Every structure is written in structure tokens, then in C-alpha cells.
Amino acid sequence: MHDIKLIRETPDVFDAAMARRGVDTRAADVLAIDAARRAKIQASEEAKAEQNAASKQVGAAKASGDEVEFERLRALVGAKKEDVARLNDEAKDLDGELTDLLMSLPNLLDASVPDGADENDNVEIKSWGTPRETDFAALEHYDIPAIAAGLDFELAAKLSGSRFMVLSGAVARLHRALAQFMVDHHVDTNGLSETWTPILVREDMMYGTGQLPKFGEDSYKTTNGWWLVPTAEVTLTNTVNGQTVDAASLPRRLVAHTQCFRSEAGSAGRDTSGVLRQHQFEKVEMVSITHPDNSMAEHDRMTSCAEGVLEALGLPYRTMVLCTGDIGFGAIKTHDIEVWLPGQNAFREISSVSVCGDFQARRMNARFKPEDGGKPQFVHTLNGSGLAVGRALIAVVENGQQADGSVVIPEVLRPFMGGNSMIQADGTLA
């Protein structure tokens, strides 16, 4: 959420930032509501002062026997009391309107974010690995014999509908191995703190990280008011919701493996085949809570953490800086890591690492106490996939596929696969 004081002080900066985002709302729109709200508050305070003054005079009028003045003052007290209540209600309504507007506006962008209309204008900043050359045509993951044996979309559709999957045998084990490896890698190599969190959250937690109010249709809500998390970003970031922590406790670097749920509203016709875009999926999510001075450096560190997983798996990738037309709602800067998928002959996103500044912290009222004892300040928050497990499964099997329909298992995953090095074309481990 935005700082209303900053908008008052630098409306031109706010307007330029919204223009970069392609948002029509300008500072004047926000400040008009803010001015009306402040006017109601001032009028309420003035009415309250008049009520108090009249109340003090009522007794004196009664004592002097001036019934006319007594009745006039008593009526004035009652009228001012009603004015105060009405003005407070109007101020409260305007405050809600202002909050709703500020909640609906995207974060300001860092100056280093490139201008652009869509994903075609994102800028590559790193590449690693070389796609393998083969003497056979690479298949997409769901057509590889070794994987097709343990990947059942028809059964999933019978159980739950479209965009679900049932995994079995070696494929299910490989999926689990990927998640276990990722968590261990982030804990043992990157120093993140393993965390286990619920997948059902209260509505205010979704507001805290920016999924609500604007993106409610993208998530699932239960009949009793809980929301299914679209990512563990929601729970991990909200671990500091409403808190004022010590500066010495920062940074807090967390990682969690969870089920995730997305309605994929508005994605009809996109990536409907295979595992790439599902309603229910798993992610290993990273979140950092940092001091404002360190958040941009932490962004680079988190990006390296995600890249390191791909390098350990031997998967070629490239890292992109997202442009103004492709960056997410709550981010001030985002790095997308795209893994090479031979079956699609294309790079596809497998991780998105974002720094959000104090945007989420304001929504959550999450602060820290400076070491010098100064006024509490908002923390900065970051989040990133480390990685999306289903997409990692696609990348591993497509890059490891062999001409005979088998799949070579990356060496780092073999301890989680019973020491086996291959899924054979019939779906068995060897």
C-alpha cells in the first residue's frame, strides 16, 4: 500500500510512477478523497469543541433560572452531538474509500526497471548452460514414454476436473524428490530457515500480501471464509504481520514447501496441455524480511539462490529483468528465471523473484525497531520461487529424455530416488 504522506508531498513523482505502470489514477484523485476525509475530521473536531463549550454553559443557565437559554443550550448540545456522530461516520466512510483506492494501486517501480509493453520487452541479464543437442526430436514431458506411464490426466479429470493431475510410480517419486532436494539445498547451502505453514489463511492475510482486493478471482475461497494460498508467500510474509521486530533479527530468510492453489482465471487457452499450468501444484517458496537498506542486495541474493537450484540440476536457464508492462502488482523489481524446455524449444518461467519494498509491510503494519533507538520503520519484503516443483519436473524430464523414451535422473536427485539413475521407458526405475 502507498504512503499517503508521500503522495501529498510528491504528487508529481506518484503520477509519473502510475504512468509507467499504465494506471490512469493520479495523485489528484487520491488527494481529493484525502482532503474530503481530513475536512470531515476537522469539522467533527470543531463540532465536538462547540458541544463541549455548550455543555459547560448548560449548568450555569439552569442555575440562573434562565429556562430559555437552558433549553437553547441543551438543544445545541444535542445537535452538535449528532453532527459529531454524522461527521465521524462520513470521515470513516471516506477513510475506507481512500484505503480501498490505495490498496488497489500497484507498487512504485524501481528506476532500473526497463520500460516495455509485455514479456517481449523483458531484458536478459544472465544465461547459464547450453541446451543439449540430440539426434532425435525432443518430446514434451507428457509424451515421453517414461513419464507418460505415471502421469494420468484422465483420472485427474474424473476426480477433480481439468487442470489437475495424478502422478504415480517413479514420476510421483521424482516429483517428491525435487521438492525434498530444493528444501535441503536452500537450508544447507543458502542458509534459509525451513518453515511449515498452513495452506488455509484468513482474509486479512491475503490483503497483507496484495492478493486482495484486486486479485480475488485468481484464488479459491472456502464457504467459511478461509482462502487457499496461491503460494507460501502469503503465510511466510505474514509471519511479521502486526509486529515490530528488532533490527538485529533482520534479515529473516524463510523457505517452505507447500501445496498451492490458483483458479487461473483469465488464462483460458494458455498452456492447457500437461503439467505447466495447474489449479493445484507445489512450490518451494523463499521469503526474506529485511532492513530497507539491504533489500536490493537481498533481491540479487535470492535470485542466486533460485539459480543455484537449476545449476545443481544441470538445467540451462536465463534470467530476465521484467519490464514495466510485465511486472507484478506488488513488486518494485522482479527477476524471472526461465528454464530451457527442449520439448517446447523455448525458455519458460520457473521462478519469479521480487522485491516489494515496504508495499506489503504497510498493508501488514510490519515494522522494525532501529538499533539506534529511533522511530520504528517498515520492513522490506521479498519473495521468490525456489522453485515451482511441477515446472522443475517438466524441465528435468525433458532435458533428461533419451532416444529410447527413458529419462536420466540428475545426479543430485539420485539419493532421493533410491540410488537409481534412470526412469526406463516402461516407467520403472533403474
Q: If we measure between CA atoms, which residue out of 266, 283, 333 comes closest to residue 178?
A: 283
DSSP 401: B
Contact 299, 332 (CB under 8 A): no
Q: How far apart are CA 360 and CA 205, in angstroms?
A: 11
Cα atoms in the Cβ-side hemisphere of radius 13 Å centred on 308? 17
DSSP 328: -
Specify binding-site residues for ATP.
262-264, 349-352
Residue whose grid cell is 520504528: 376
> 165 is written with which cell numbers?
493431475
Q: How far apart are CA 259 and CA 271, in angstroms?
A: 20
**What is the chain's Cα-based Rg?**
28
Query: Residue 137 — left, alpha, or beta (φ > 0 → left; ψ -120 to 50 → alpha)?
Result: beta
Q: How far apart are CA 414 and CA 181, in angstroms?
A: 10
Beta bridge partners of 127: 318
Specify binding-site residues.
231-233, 262-264, 285, 349-352, 383, 385
> H helices within 224-369, ranges in order?
233-237, 295-313, 359-364
> H helices within 196-354, ranges in order?
203-209, 233-237, 295-313
> 180 is written with which cell numbers?
525434498
* Beta-strand pair 123-128/317-321: antiparallel
Helix pair 389-400, 295-313: axis angle to 10 deg: 40
H-helix or E-strand containing 340?
strand 333-341
Provide the sign of the torsion angle of the four alpha carbons 123, 129, 135, 138, taken in this order: negative
Q: If we measure between CA atoms, which residue out of 344, 381, 340, 341 comes closest to residue 359?
A: 381
Specify binding-site residues for L-serine.
231-233, 262, 285, 383, 385
**3-class SS of residue 260:** strand
